[in-house]
A and B are shown apart, each in its own frame.
Chain A
């Protein structure tokens, strides 16, 4: 960058009109190099942004897999519990005490959907607090 500044100043001395100076700047090698360098930086940045998008997709996928695994785990525990005979003193937990399997949620599209997700999250928090 500094090289191109010096070059620009040198060009300014050589050229009389602004147009000629502009042409001199663009044609000067340091200027071209600086532009190419900045372009390369921007391309690297683009790749990095693409990478974060892919990471996001990967996270969504893994979170889905985790949800599936935990839901199956919950079903398996239910299945073992159903094999236990009921004790007279301690009745089996009411259906309302067992958490419902969370539904698959898609990415929110509007604020209405977002507030619906907020509501569901609050409901889950409440259920979790009740269970603990």
Chain B
């Protein structure tokens, strides 16, 4: 039969304080991860915009090129 085993922790208070710090550290890590996800999402949106703007410039340059060709 399994019986609970009580283990004396040498430095109980220090361990408790360390675990509290760990919880704070975990919250910080979670916050950092959220910020990273936000940046990644913004980057994806920026990339999409870059594609669109490149296409607009490409079309404008094409039209200008066409105008210059008419001169030749």
Contacts and interface: CB of A to CB of B under 8 A. Distances in A.
A72 B29 CA distance: 10
Q: Is the interface of A mostly helix, strand, loop or mixed?
A: helix
Contacts of A58: 39
A52 B54 CA distance: 15
A41 interface: yes
Interface string A20-51: 01100100000100110110011011001101
Contacts of B32: 62, 65-66, 69
Interface in A45-87: 45, 48-49, 51-52, 55-56, 58-59, 62-63, 65-66, 69-70, 72-73, 76-77, 79-80, 83-85, 87
B67 A4 contact: yes
A122 interface: no
B18 A55 contact: no
Given A8-B67, A73-B29, 5 more contacts: A22-B68, A45-B50, A79-B18, A80-B15, A85-B7
Q: Is the interface of B mostly helix, strand, loop or mixed?
A: helix
Given A38-B60, A41-B53, A55 B43 contact: yes
Chain A: number of interface residues, binned into ranges: 35 or more
Contact of B10 (A45, A65, A85): A85
6 contacts: A5-B63, A59-B40, A65-B32, A73-B22, A76-B18, A85-B8
Contacts of B29: 66, 69-70, 73
A3 to B, nearest CB: 11
